[in-house]
Amino acid sequence: MTLTADDVRKIAHLARLGIQQDDVESYAQDLSGILALMQQMGETNADNVAPMAHPLDQSQRLRADNVTEVNNRDNFQAIAPQTEAGLYLVPKVIE
């Protein structure tokens, strides 16, 4: 698909982008190249290709799941306006 200068101006207007008139032809060529690449990629047969979560075979480093803070729930609930069975009670805001 080849974009014309008018197409680029319409796209820029719809996207609320300010493009200099001198750059319109350059944008038209660049966008046409991108669309041609996307069309080429869409025509590629990927039936035997397994989906990947990431293109590199890496594992994520995770930290140990250790408790790092003291449990202050009882102290916080002691100063809360209303609590019940370990829960904070709040006024109803949706009818």
Q: Report which secondary-structure segment, H or E, holds 88.
A: strand 87-88
Contact between residue 21 and residue 6 where contact means Cβ atoms under 8 Å apart: no
Model confidence at 95, in pLDDT bands (50, 70, 90)?
A: confident
Asked if residue 25 belongs to a domain, the reply is yes
Asked if residue 62 belongs to a domain, the reply is no
Please state whether the predicted TM-score (pTM) of the whole model is above 0.75: no
Asked if residue 88 belongs to a domain, the reply is no
Burial-class residue 79 by CB neighbours within 10 Å (0-12, 13-18, 19+). exposed
Tell how far CA 27 is from the center of its chain.
25
Residues with Cβ within 8 Å of residue 73, at least 6 apart in sequence = 86
Asked if residue 64 belongs to a domain, the reply is no
Total number of domains in the chain: 1
pLDDT at 66: 93
Instruction: Give 25-74 pLDDT, tens digit per residue.
Output: 999 999 999 999 999 999 999 899 888 877 887 777 898 999 999 999 99
Model confidence at 12, in pLDDT bands (50, 70, 90)?
A: very high
Asked if residue 83 belongs to a domain, the reply is no
pLDDT at 68: 92
Asked if residue 80 belongs to a domain, the reply is no
**Which domain covers residue 13, as residue numbers?**
5-42
Asked if residue 20 belongs to a domain, the reply is yes
pLDDT at 49: 87
Asked if residue 33 belongs to a domain, the reply is yes
pLDDT at 74: 92
